[in-house]
């Protein structure tokens, strides 16, 4: 080790200062790259677990025998990225789950929409949002069963003009004091159904097991 006095003499010199700064940054980078390497797999597994859990909420149990979380296609709808998870049973596609997002009142709302081969909504869940607590956050299943009102809907049930919140002449409830949030979610689900109608043949053609 360097003696105390040597250190006192070295400390005010520019090369020593530069060396210390460089050493600190090098050690910090080394620690971070080791940590990244160690945690990469557990983090990827945890995130995949999250996806699997949200998919399981919008797919009927027993309707698939593959891992839809791993069966992924990427597409986009009007510039918004959409991740398509295809559920298979016995090699036959049974349903898809679209993971997409929309703009709510206070930023992005992430949602998953399960759609059956009959082009009906199997279920809708919100994966993340930053809407107003107590008003717009009723889109969460934990706060309100509003998202359940989509189950069984079809692009023509209700008729296209009625695919809106009540305030806009549609059939879906809005929340007292919050219209923008449910309006965004209704539009996103409708867009998801339209996207399915346009593109599903292509999705099912891509992955023939």
Partner 1 sequence: MNTYRKILREGLWDNNMIASQLLAMCPAMAVTATATNGLGMGLATTAVLVASNTLVSSIRHLVPSSVRIPIFIVLIASLVTLVDLALNAWLHELYKVLGLFIALIVVNCGILGRAESFASRASVPRAAFDGLAMGIGFTLAMVAIGAVREIVGSGSLFAQAQLLLGPAFGFLELRLFDGGALLMVLPPGGFLVLGGLLAAKRALEGARRRKGAVVAQSA
Contact set with partner 1 (CB under 8 A): 4, 7, 11-12, 16-18, 20-21, 24-25, 28, 31-32, 35-36, 38-39, 42-43, 46, 49-50, 132-135
The nearer residue to partner 1, 31 or 92, going by C-beta atoms, is 31
Q: Which of 197, 205, 204, 192 is nearest to 100 (CA)?
A: 192
| Dihedral over Cα of 193, 197, 203, 209: its sign | positive
Looking at the Cβ atoms of 16 and 81, the one nearer to partner 1 is: 16
Provide the minimum distance between the beta carbon of 24 and partner 1 in the complex, in angstroms, as a whole number: 5
Cβ distance to partner 1 smaller for residue 31 or 206: 31
Q: Minimal distance in Å, beta carbon 183 to partner 1?
A: 20
Q: Which is nearer to partner 1, 4 or 208 (CB)?
A: 4
DSSP per position, 185-206: HHHHHHHHHHHHHHHHHHHHHH
Minimum separation from the CB atom of position 160 to partner 1 (A): 35
Nearer to partner 1, 32 or 206 (CB): 32
**DSSP at 175:** B
Q: Output the smallest distance, CB 201 to partner 1, in A.
A: 36
Residues in the chain, total:
209
- Distance between CA 140 and CA 122 in Å, rounded? 16
């Amino acid at each position: 080790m360097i003696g105390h006095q040597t250190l006192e003499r070295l400390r005010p010199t520019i090369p020593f200062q530069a060396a210390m700064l460089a050493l600190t940054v090098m050690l910090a980078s080394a620690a971070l790259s080791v940590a990244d390497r160690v945690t990469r797999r557990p983090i990827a597994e945890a995130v995949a677990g999250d996806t699997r859990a949200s998919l399981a909420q919008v797919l009927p149990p027993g309707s698939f025998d593959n891992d839809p979380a791993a069966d992924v296609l990427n597409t986009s709808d009007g510039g918004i990225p959409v991740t398509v998870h295809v559920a298979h049973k016995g090699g036959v596609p049974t349903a898809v789950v679209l993971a997409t997002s929309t703009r709510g009142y206070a930023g992005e709302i992430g949602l998953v929409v399960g759609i059956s081969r009959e082009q009906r909504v199997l279920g809708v869940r919100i994966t993340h949002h930053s809407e107003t607590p107590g008003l717009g956050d009723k889109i969460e299943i934990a706060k309100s069963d509003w998202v359940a009102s989509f189950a069984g809907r079809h692009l023509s049930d209700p008729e296209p003009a009625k695919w809106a919140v009540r305030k806009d002449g549609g059939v879906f409830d809005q929340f007292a004091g919050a219209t923008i949030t449910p309006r965004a979610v209704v539009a996103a689900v409708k867009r998801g159904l339209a996207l399915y109608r346009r593109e599903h043949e292509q999705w099912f053609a891509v992955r023939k097991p």
